[in-house]
Structure 1
């Protein structure tokens, strides 16, 4: 490779790092708080830990909608920003914020109506179900802030501003991480204190993002046509996200059937997986912004260069996380609970968890490339294939044949493998690289 090519690759890596590192902190802040919350609640006993597992799984529906909102807004805003229309990129954020408020109202109503039935279906233990219902009825009041933050993250990433989201999210979650043990232990609120701390963090974060977009002095009225276009783009992301949610909900339901200890171990491993996945997704955030901007500017070679580089960076990052996970196998579960039965179940899951991380690094990086390019239809189809042909059959077989947690995590491994192969095939082709301010 020539010296000029090496210099170009290094410059591209620095640009990716400049966007990815602040995004990494933003992405890691929420799951890191959830890990702190899990650790605090875990020391209250098995039932509260199982309750957070069930309630948190239901709340992940709101996180799912937020992810859809952020990703869809990033791609649209990045293309407009790359085409030289920053005002248009900010306008995408305004309309996404209106969509966030409308969606949060619907989700809160749904959760209040169905909190009881949902928690009873997911929890095998009546005590855990009742505790999860109480936690959930309070936690849902954080949904508006959560979705406003997602919309704000989306348009800011699109204009390649990842520093302000860093300050907003990190500050609010540090505050809540301090508040959680104070409410749970010092104030004596127990599990309810955990839910209140969640609401506090999400509401503060959403308010900061709302303040940021008001300061842009963009027109704030809703524009149904733009919201409609965002919904059309979000359709494929919605279906793709539904496949993920079916997998996580089914996995939690099956784990609950293997006992409270198995459910607690599954909660610890799954939350660590989400934490690692979102941290690895920082590279994908950089890819969304840079690929979208390059294609919006009509520069297909630049978009392809970003795709190659983020694939490499994602794989290396996944290996690094796998090494850390393997090194902490004997220590990390003890941070969440002192229950020996939960530790034993976690030891069974750990090789699956650590072994999948290098592959997940590549998968999440390429997800970012295709989302930035607006190629979400392909992502939808391949995610459905992985869920229906890999994950879901294996975990329900695990339930039928009593395979325990290894059967559930074998399903997750198959899901990751199917997506990896599909994404690599698409990446090597040309159908994703469509130039222009809109796709």
Structure 2
């Protein structure tokens, strides 16, 4: 079939409650709830801080922008690569186990059906096809997935490095964002960023573990841990900020405690399911994670620069503009990240299907998550159109509210674009198409940076949001182009003649 037609394959079954639909739902819904829980907790933080004053709100906004964007540089490559590798190794092990079972039950030749060696070359390793034997040697009834241990170790190291980096570079980073020592925003911003940095190891470790859980298609455990952590955060916020009078420092401390609680709960749960102590150093899969992670690091750095630049341009226009931008950005990110649930489902299912060479499943899964993404985006756009009525939940400042009323229409209108951009990323990650994802994002970032400078200088606050809308549209085009042309790992689409049901 024509590669571009894959996007509308099975469109009549988009909302059908079939096996694929249930698999997507079982992975995406807990993931979506877990991903939405943290931004919602951040929104509650924003609401509490907003009642301290617009200066503190703007200061924390700058610090959160720095922390989140620096974190994404390490988190997204680590989680994305770990999810794909764990899903591939888990799928290959399932195929190996099924093959061994059939060999025992039948004398028929099943090698043609289960070409495990080719699949191992595609996404796994020799150790991943011997999971059962390794587990037996260890005397444990647990899954043995080499990428799981590697991801956790790398995540722990990156977390410590990020904490040290943020603590010692807080001042120059704030200067880069337009905050200098003579700014009223500088002191609270530096105080919050420095304290929040101590939670970086827990944040990255917990996300690395979530990558493992996503790869084995268990997204409920991360959901429970995240909810418990965020509830703790919400309870501690008013206690530390107002009762103990710690102000913005209290908000940072509450967040740190919640993140360490989440990481401890996740690690404890994972140890019950997966062997985390390989028998030898050779069993670690550091090479694959580092190689593919570096490619995604390039992509995330480009994404981070665009979003951080937009926050910097807003901060340079003063605390009122930055406060309004922070609220709009938090809403934009919180709602858009809901799409990551579909992206994770698509990535895990597609990675498993590629490992099994089940191309029909690849096509069906990619089409379904993209179609569901469009529906989700339209729904979010409709809901956010009513948001101006709730703006006073975040601040009482009349000038900030006026700017928020300008930004919200852009936040609402871009939801379908944002959702599809995130889902396209998940689909291409599932195909392990990390190189294209990295290089295409560089081109998108270059064009977007030009738009940000030009439009912010001429249109101010409005120009920033127009440029961000262009940026997300270009990301969709990059994802669409790869699949639509049937290039890279999607080359098999040119040889498939499937009826569009």
Provide the TM-score with structure 1 as the length reference. 0.93
Question: Partners in 1 of 2:15 and 2:191 — Cα distance?
Answer: 55
Give, in angstroms, the shift of residue 191 of structure 1.
0.7
In structure 1, the residue matched to 2:483 is: 427
- Structure 1 segments (4+ residues) deviating >6 Å: none
In structure 2, relative to structure 1, the CA distance for the partners of 1:267 and 1:127 (3 Å cut) is same
State yes or no: 1:80 paired with 2:89. yes
Q: Which residue among 440, 444, 449 is the counterpart of 1:386?
A: 444
In structure 2, the residue matched to 1:66 is: 75
State yes or no: 1:30 paired with 2:41. no
In structure 2, the residue matched to 1:51 is: 59
In structure 2, relative to structure 1, the CA distance for the partners of 1:7 and 1:251 (3 Å cut) is closer
> What's the CA shift string for 1:31-81, capped at 9, x where partnerless?
111111111101100111011111101111114412221111101111111
State yes or no: 1:242 paired with 2:285. no
In structure 2, relative to structure 1, the CA distance for the partners of 1:52 and 1:6 (3 Å cut) is closer
Give yes or no for contact 1:426–1:432 (8 Å, CA) kept in 2. Answer: no
Secondary structure of 1:242's aligned partner:
helix
Give yes or no for contact 2:62–2:177 (8 Å, CA) kept in 1. Answer: yes
Secondary structure of 1:229's aligned partner:
helix
Give yes or no for contact 2:387–2:408 (8 Å, CA) kept in 1. Answer: no
> What's the CA shift string for 1:318-374, capped at 9, x where partnerless?
00110111022232x211111111111111111211111112222211111101111
Give, in angstroms, the shift of residue 433 of structure 1.
4.0
Secondary structure of 1:127's aligned partner:
coil
Question: Which has the higher mean CA deviation after the structures are superposed, 47-56 or 207-216?
Answer: 207-216
Q: Give the alignment of 1:188-203 within 5 angstroms.
A: 188-203=245-260
In structure 2, the residue matched to 1:405 is: 461
Give yes or no for contact 1:82–1:295 (8 Å, CA) kept in 2. Answer: no
> What's the CA shift string for 1:74-101, capped at 9, x where partnerless?
0111111121258577331211111011
In structure 2, the residue matched to 1:103 is: 158
Give, in angstroms, the shift of residue 117 of structure 1.
1.6
Secondary structure of 1:241's aligned partner:
helix
In structure 1, the residue matched to 2:17 is: 10
State yes or no: 1:374 paired with 2:432. yes
Q: Give the alignment of 1:148-167 within 5 angstroms.
A: 148-167=205-224
In structure 2, relative to structure 1, the CA distance for the partners of 1:265 and 1:97 (3 Å cut) is same
Give, in angstroms, the shift of residue 434 of structure 1.
8.0
In structure 2, the residue matched to 1:182 is: 239
State yes or no: 1:214 paired with 2:271. yes
Q: Which residue among 471, 474, 487 is the counterpart of 1:418?
A: 474
RMSD, aligned CA? 2.1
Give yes or no for contact 1:94–1:213 (8 Å, CA) kept in 2. Answer: no
Secondary structure of 2:432's aligned partner:
coil
Give yes or no for contact 2:144–2:274 (8 Å, CA) kept in 1. Answer: no
Question: Partners in 1 of 2:14 and 2:311 — Cα distance?
Answer: 47
In structure 1, the residue matched to 2:418 is: 360
Question: Partners in 2 of 1:181 and 1:363 — Cα distance?
Answer: 36
Give yes or no for contact 2:162–2:201 (8 Å, CA) kept in 1. Answer: no
Secondary structure of 1:386's aligned partner:
helix
Question: Partners in 2 of 1:71 and 1:335 — Cα distance?
Answer: 34
State yes or no: 1:130 paired with 2:187. yes
Q: Which residue among 443, 452, 456 is the counterpart of 1:395?
A: 452
> What's the CA shift string for 1:94-138, capped at 9, x where partnerless?
111110111112111111111112113314461211111111111
Question: Partners in 1 of 2:144 and 2:426 — Cα distance?
Answer: 18
Question: Partners in 2 of 1:223 and 1:32 — Cα distance?
Answer: 40
Give yes or no for contact 1:76–1:89 (8 Å, CA) kept in 2. Answer: no
In structure 1, the residue matched to 2:137 is: none
Give, in angstroms, the shift of residue 244 of structure 1.
1.1
- Structure 2 stretches lacking a partner, 5+ long: 1-7, 95-127, 132-142, 493-501
In structure 2, the residue matched to 1:318 is: 377
In structure 2, relative to structure 1, the CA distance for the partners of 1:9 and 1:324 (3 Å cut) is closer
Larger radius of gyration between Structure 1 and Structure 2: 2
Which structure is higher in helix share? 1
How many residues align? The count is 430
